[in-house]
Amino acid sequence: MRAYERFMKYITFDTASCDRSETCPSTEKQKVLGAYLVEEMKALGIADARMDEFGYVYGSIPANVENQPAIGLIAHMDVVDCVPCTPMNARIVKNYDGKALTLESGDVLDPELYKGLKACAGKDLIVTDGRTILGADDKAGIAEILTLAERLMADKSLKHGKICIGFTPDEEIGRGADKFDVPGFGAEFGYTVDGGEVGGIDYETFNAASGVIRVHGVSIHPGSAKNLMKHASLIGMEFNGMLPPAEVPAHTEGYEGFYHLTDMQGNEELAVLEYIIRDHSRTRFEERKAYFKRVAEYLNAKYGAGTVECEVKDSYYNMREIMEQHMDVVERAMQAYRDCGIEPYTVPVRGGTDGCRLSFMGLPCPNLSTGGMNGHGRKECVAVQDMDTMVDVLEKLVTVK
């Protein structure tokens, strides 16, 4: 079976995670895909395939040659919940011509805006109808890993050490490593297969934190509100207005960090604003969090103590701090790309993966591409042939030359 065939099945599962849930996994529906993957792995001959109580799926392929490292391959099952993931109406555009592509919804995939599309000319492009995300982030990674597993199980001439497979829930809400069993996983190092265009290897990510602002106001009839009403939503807007307006995702790139408002709701009495805070530099990251808190302190001084509650919680740190000590793991992946005729590239990732926290938990774990593009949006897509290529890259990565 080719990777895209698996992928087309996986994307029909609703696996959106939910950061408002305190359970693990955050949504039980992720376990439905997990159970399906366990059965598929068993059918491939992966005897120890299993899902634990937290929704983590594990399995391994025994080594068939000695003196090789145990290598982990990891992908995540969940998708973001900010865009619908069902009903899924995906289609394959055969021999994509490299031009602007109109989706059923009327939205247009324009290669002048989405540069990666140009490299897909002549390939078979998987898209949705424009009303949902596709789920290539990261079901493409799952499909590629299990297609490799099928290949290794069927072709005993491919020599390899132990291959440890892990599929996690809740990566999109920053909790994918919360319950990951690093000792039980059994790998010496690993790779998340959770990136973008083919050829990417990521070992430098944001430092990340979440920020929640709760504004407590005073509600009173607007006809008699003078000098009495304290409008929580307006104070929340004031808070947001005090953050640097150019330091948001829409105006930053490369190593530039940001504050990003992800959700807001409120009325006169209570307003809640949720943020993510990002920066590659640990120093600037700490400065950003400190400034975020100072704005809250200023508003409390202005409107009264307790008006603004501010909670900041670290999510993950820049994996480069760890990976600089394990560059042989990075070089191994770069060589795998070259062995497939692909020149690897690395850029500072403006996001994170499970590998960020796993690296700090003792499992050095850079991130590899899947071929997917435009993740987290309705214009997400992936080329069939790019998924095939990534299976070949993974084979080169884990096998003995």
- Residues recognised as catalytic: 78, 171
Angle at 360 between CA 359 and CA 362, to 5 degrees: 70
Three-class DSSP category at 244: coil
Q: Which residue has the tokens 């996983």?
A: 185
Angle at 235 between CA 234 and CA 241, to 5 degrees: 90
Query: What interhelical angle do 232-241 and 282-303 show, nearest 10?
Result: 140
Strand partners of residue 51: 57
Backbone torsion region of residue 269, taken as left when φ is above 0, otherwise alpha when ψ lies between -120 and 50, otherwise beta: alpha
Measure the CA–CA gap between 194 and 177, rounded to whole angstroms: 14
**Sign, Cα dihedral of 267, 270, 272, 273:** positive
Helix (H) or strand (E) run with residue 264 in it: strand 258-266
Measure the CA–CA gap between 13 and 18, rounded to whole angstroms: 15
Backbone torsion region of residue 55, taken as left when φ is above 0, otherwise alpha when ψ lies between -120 and 50, otherwise beta: left
Residue 276: φ, ψ to 5°: -115, 145
Measure the CA–CA gap between 392 and 341, rounded to whole angstroms: 11
Sequence letter at residue 139: K
Three-class DSSP category at 289: helix
Determine contact, residues 78/18, Cβ cutoff 8 Å.
no
Strand partners of residue 190: 72
